[in-house]
């Protein structure tokens, strides 16, 4: 009888107990705010957690972690909610968006940020002091997710990955302990959270180095979609000074006022350019891109750095079949293939995104952080946004086939861009030695794999992996 009771209690969320021990909000199905709290960036996510906890602080995080561990309750951790792995059915979601305090020290050029803050709000706040940390290309992404995966954005060539500006963090591990981690304290854990994702605990606060940056020369450059332009752009971006980073989308032209009507629906090159600085050098670096072909639109101008994050529509929840790969080159044959596949895709919006890497990111030794793809030249994302769930197979096949066709034997995938291919490809996200070390750190800090709603790294088994 006792045993049966214990079995029933394990895995069941004790909502009354949760409400009694937690200072923050606890939302359950039927509560006002519950559906909003389980709405994430991506569409098609419909998990029904038994409780969503919005912690009031670190102590709440520790209480929830301990309770989930003791009762064997599925636990998901969510900061910005931009991944496929921040919700779970039946279990508890720890919604870190209630923890977004920022403490900026302009003199020391550092900032402590709670993990639930978004990259956009952090960027706006530090910009008031003429300072910056590089994140990605969207301001709504959460600090917790992007940082623990690496962070590749508009300053990657100038200042490296987001994790290359991470000085320290506070992490609640599976034993419920709050740990300060940095180069001196628990260095293995500090290493692991810089690229190993949310596998090792709940990151509650992050200490970032801030870099001086005010105005940038940046904005959208729209060029004709020809193989020569695409391949030429990638060549130029590799030769450009490190101050210049671009994110290029090859996609059908939307009916935007600056695009001539006859081009609507045909593939064009939409390049978001950022030169970290302004003036003559910046203009000089930008000139060859502008000269690749007569631009369809040239909106590059001096702007405050936070303007690189365009306003976003909170009600937009796209469903996409997305794949990621690294490569060293992208020639005119590859470019022609991309343009042809974009033309023939039946998705609402097919797109191929190309990011030229290198610079500061490549100067960090491969084993310094759990993100190890330091020497990859180019990262490509293939995505097909679609509406009808019955078409999932068609668009996934399209993304898979184009990804395979662009593969040139360069290993690796960026963990933050893994999607429903996570289980099949998680091993590709880390070289062998990195993977073994991650599994050993996982075993030390989360031996029962409490933190498994993520791009999961299983703990090493007894005596090794």
Ligand X SMILES: Cc1cc2nc3c(=O)[nH]c(=O)nc-3n(C[C@H](O)[C@H](O)[C@H](O)COP(=O)(O)OP(=O)(O)OC[C@H]3O[C@@H](n4cnc5c(N)ncnc54)[C@H](O)[C@@H]3O)c2cc1C
Site residues for ligand X, 236-275, by CB under 6 A, read none
- Taking the complex as a whole, the smallest distance from the CB of residue 381 to ligand X amounts, in Å, to 9
- Size of interface with ligand X, in residues (CB under 6 A): 32
Instruction: Select from 49, 134, 197, 232 the one that contacts ligand X (CB under 6 A).
Output: 197
85 lies in the binding site for ligand X (CB under 6 A): yes
96 lies in the binding site for ligand X (CB under 6 A): yes
Q: Which stretch binds ligand X (CB under 6 A): 73-81, 256-264, 273-281, 435-443?
A: 73-81
Q: Which is nearer to ligand X, 232 or 443 (CB)?
A: 443
Q: Which is nearer to ligand X, 74 or 295 (CB)?
A: 74
- Taking the complex as a whole, the smallest distance from the CB of residue 446 to ligand X amounts, in Å, to 11
Q: Which is nearer to ligand X, 172 or 292 (CB)?
A: 172
Q: Which is nearer to ligand X, 188 or 331 (CB)?
A: 188
457 lies in the binding site for ligand X (CB under 6 A): no
Sign, Cα dihedral of 211, 217, 219, 224: negative
The number of residues making up the chain comes to: 465
- 248-255: long-range contacts, CB 8 A cutoff, minimum separation 24: 248/272, 248/353, 248/354, 248/355, 249/351, 249/352, 249/353, 250/225, 250/338, 250/339, 250/342, 250/351, 250/352, 250/353, 250/354, 251/342, 251/349, 251/350, 251/351, 251/352, 252/342, 252/349, 252/350, 253/296
Q: Kindly provide the residue ranges of all beta strands, DSSP E only, lying in 328-377, ordered along the sequence.
A: 349-356
Angle between the N-to-C axes of helices 332-344 and 392-406, in degrees from 0 to 180, rounded to the nearest 10: 170
Residue 166 CB contacts under 8 Å (≥ 6 apart), including other chains: 147, 194, 206, 207, 208, 209
Instruction: Select from 74, 120, 145, 350 the one that contacts ligand X (CB under 6 A).
Output: 145
- Taking the complex as a whole, the smallest distance from the CB of residue 31 to ligand X amounts, in Å, to 20
Q: Which is nearer to ligand X, 195 or 277 (CB)?
A: 195
Instruction: Select from 55, 144, 227, 350 the one that contacts ligand X (CB under 6 A).
Output: 144
Cβ(382)–Cβ(285) below 8 Å:
no
For 13, the 3-state DSSP assignment is coil
Q: Kindly provide the residue ranges of all beta strands, DSSP E only, lying in 32-176, ordered along the sequence.
A: 51-54, 75-78, 92-95, 102-105, 110-114, 131-132, 166-172
Of residues 25, 169, 152, the one with CA closest to residue 97: 25
Instruction: Select from 91, 136, 219, 224 the one that contacts ligand X (CB under 6 A).
Output: 136
Q: Phi first, then psi: give them for residue 220, nearest 5 degrees.
A: -90, 130
- Taking the complex as a whole, the smallest distance from the CB of residue 199 to ligand X amounts, in Å, to 8
Residue 156 CB contacts under 8 Å (≥ 6 apart), including other chains: 134, 245, 355, 357, 359, 360, 361
Instruction: Select from 226, 345, 353, 416 the one that contacts ligand X (CB under 6 A).
Output: 416
- Taking the complex as a whole, the smallest distance from the CB of residue 6 to ligand X amounts, in Å, to 28
Q: Which is nearer to ligand X, 138 or 300 (CB)?
A: 138
Instruction: Select from 53, 122, 137, 439 the one that contacts ligand X (CB under 6 A).
Output: 137
Instruction: Select from 54, 82, 205, 452 the one that contacts ligand X (CB under 6 A).
Output: 82
Q: Which stretch binds ligand X (CB under 6 A): 63-71, 198-206, 256-264, 432-440?
A: 198-206
152 lies in the binding site for ligand X (CB under 6 A): yes
Q: Which stretch binds ligand X (CB under 6 A): 74-82, 250-258, 404-412, 438-446?
A: 74-82
CA distances from 416 to 142, 265, 323, 386, 400 (A): 12, 29, 11, 21, 18
Binding mask 309-348 for ligand X (x = CB under 6 A): ----------------------------------------
Instruction: Select from 138, 207, 229, 282 the one that contacts ligand X (CB under 6 A).
Output: 138
Site residues for ligand X, 103-132, by CB under 6 A, read 115
Mind giving me the DSSP string for 216-248?
EEEEEEEEE--HHHHHHHHHHHHHS-TTEEEEE
CB atoms within 10 A of CB 259: 18
419 lies in the binding site for ligand X (CB under 6 A): no
Residue nearest ligand X by beta-carbon distance: 145
Cβ(386)–Cβ(321) below 8 Å:
yes
Q: Where does this chain bind ligand X (CB under 6 A)?
A: 41, 77-83, 85-86, 96, 115, 136-138, 141-142, 144-146, 148-153, 197-198, 202-203, 416, 454
């Amino acid at each position: 009888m006792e045993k049966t009771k214990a079995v029933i209690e394990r895995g069941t969320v004790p909502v009354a107990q949760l409400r009694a021990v937690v200072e923050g909000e606890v939302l359950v199905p039927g509560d006002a705010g519950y559906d909003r709290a389980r709405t994430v960036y991506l569409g098609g996510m419909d998990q029904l957690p038994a409780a969503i906890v919005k912690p009031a602080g670190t102590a709440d995080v520790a209480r929830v972690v301990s309770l989930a561990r003791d009762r064997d309750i599925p636990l998901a951790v969510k900061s910005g909610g931009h991944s496929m792995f921040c919700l779970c059915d039946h279990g508890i979601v720890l919604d870190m968006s209630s923890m977004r305090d920022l403490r900026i020290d302009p003199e020391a050029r550092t900032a402590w940020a709670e993990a639930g803050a978004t990259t956009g709000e952090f960027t706006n706040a530090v910009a008031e002091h003429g300072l910056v940390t590089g994140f990605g290309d969207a301001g709504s992404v959460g600090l917790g997710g992007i940082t623990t995966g690496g962070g590749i954005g508009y300053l990657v060539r100038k200042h490296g990955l987001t994790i290359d500006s991470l000085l320290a963090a506070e992490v609640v591990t599976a034993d419920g302990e709050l740990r300060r981690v940095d180069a001196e304290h628990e260095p293995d854990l500090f290493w692991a959270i810089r690229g190993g994702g949310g596998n090792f605990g709940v990151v509650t606060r992050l200490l970032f180095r801030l870099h001086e940056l005010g105005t940038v020369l940046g904005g959208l450059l729209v060029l004709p979609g020809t193989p020569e332009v695409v391949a030429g752009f990638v060549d130029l971006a590799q030769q450009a000074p490190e101050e210049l980073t671009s994110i290029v989308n090859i996609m059908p032209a939307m009916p935007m006022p600056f695009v001539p009507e006859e081009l609507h629906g045909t593939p064009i090159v939409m390049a978001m350019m950022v030169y970290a600085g302004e003036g003559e050098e910046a203009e000089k670096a930008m000139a060859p891109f502008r000269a690749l072909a007569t631009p369809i639109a040239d909106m590059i101008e001096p702007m405050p750095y936070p303007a690189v994050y365009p306003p976003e529509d909170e009600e937009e929840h796209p469903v996409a079949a997305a794949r990621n790969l690294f490569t060293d080159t992208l020639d005119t044959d590859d470019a022609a293939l991309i343009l042809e596949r974009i033309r023939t895709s039946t998705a609402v919006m097919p797109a191929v995104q190309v990011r030229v890497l290198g610079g500061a990111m490549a100067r960090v030794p491969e084993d310094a952080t759990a993100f190890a793809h330091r020497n990859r030249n180019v990262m490509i994302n293939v995505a097909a946004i679609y509406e009808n769930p019955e078409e999932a197979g068609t668009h996934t096949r399209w993304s898979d086939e184009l990804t395979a066709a662009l593969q040139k034997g360069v290993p690796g995938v960026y963990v933050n861009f893994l999607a429903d291919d996570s289980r099949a490809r998680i091993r590709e996200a880390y070289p062998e030695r990195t993977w073994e070390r991650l599994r050993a750190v996982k075993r030390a800090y989360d031996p029962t794999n409490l933190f498994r709603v993520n791009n999961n790294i299983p703990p090493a088994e007894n005596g090794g992996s």
